[in-house]
A = this chain, B = another copy of it.
Amino acid sequence: MRPEAGIQLIPIRQLPEVEPGDDLGQLITRAATEGGVKLASGDIVVVAQKIVSKAEGRLVDLATIIPSAFALEIAGRQRRDPRLVEVILSESARVVRTDDHVLITETKHGFVCANAGVDKSNVRDKDWVSLLPVAPDESARRLAARLSELLDVSVAVIITDTFGRAWREGLTNVAIGIAGLSPLKDFRGETDDHGKELSATVLAVADEIAAASGLLMRKTARIPVVVVRGYHYEVGDGGSALLIRPKERDLFR
């Protein structure tokens, strides 16, 4: 008997070092082809934030940054580079919490994460850092459109980053940019096999897809793109803002 259809997570490995101005759609198309992966309609192309930021030129040379008094104060306390702290603050709408090591902030997009997503790793030049894309949903939409143009397929795109979370240890990959896929699946009103109403009401499928891809998207393994195949997603144009929980409905903080 053939096993029933499931979901495949397919790594795309052969991407070159991404440079500002690069056509990410073309790079992914080429790498997929070289890796023997033929993108098909219904696939979800999951892309690490870092290469999107690089292609969009969201890179900053710390040598050009003059830290504010506030940045100097935090940096002194945390023994970090005040220019890095300045960049983190400039990417943030507000500081949520700090300790001796890290700044948890709310980014201008509304994401709550460490250091506003500003990151030194996997950026080639010393003293340069990468920032999150300005509008990750638009980045995802542009990439989906480009892949559709190049390959004549209709795919969804998710841009991911690894965030920490409350209550639980460790980081997980989450969705910060979404195109062509409804990020939430709403089961409210549906019943189980015994006719009882379901208690798990709204599932964050975009984050589950991101987390699944995280299993392959290891930082040291040069896999910045994962194709998720076989998941029957709901097409939708609600972006990542739907995944941000309004304070008044957040009992988990």
Determine if A6 and B11 form an interchain contact, defined as CB atoms under 8 angstroms apart.
Answer: yes
A-B contact pairs, 25 of them (CB 8 A): A3-B37, A4-B35, A6-B9, A9-B9, A96-B252, A112-B167, A120-B197, A121-B200, A165-B252, A166-B167, A168-B207, A168-B244, A170-B183, A170-B204, A170-B243, A171-B202, A172-B211, A193-B222, A198-B220, A203-B214, A208-B211, A211-B212, A212-B212, A212-B215, A253-B253
Q: 11 more A-B contacts (CB under 8 A) besides A168-B207, A187-B219, A207-B211?
A: A1-B36, A4-B10, A8-B9, A96-B252, A104-B251, A120-B199, A121-B198, A121-B199, A168-B174, A169-B184, A191-B220
- List chain B residues, Cβ under 8 A from A243: 168-170
Q: Find out whether the CB atom of A162 lies under 8 angstroms from the CB atom of B35.
A: no
CB–CB B199/A119 < 8 A? yes
Give every chain B residue within 8 A of A245 (Cβ-Cβ): 166-169
Residue of B nearest to A220 (CB): B190
A193 contact set on B, CB distance < 8 A: 122, 220, 222
* A contacts, CB < 8 Å to B: 1-4, 6-11, 13, 34-37, 96-99, 102, 104, 111-112, 115, 119-124, 162, 164-174, 183-184, 187, 190-194, 196-205, 207-209, 211-212, 214-216, 218-220, 222, 226, 230-231, 242-245, 250-253
- Structural contact, A203 and B167, CB atoms closer than 8 A: no
Closest residue to A201 on the B side, CB-wise?
B171
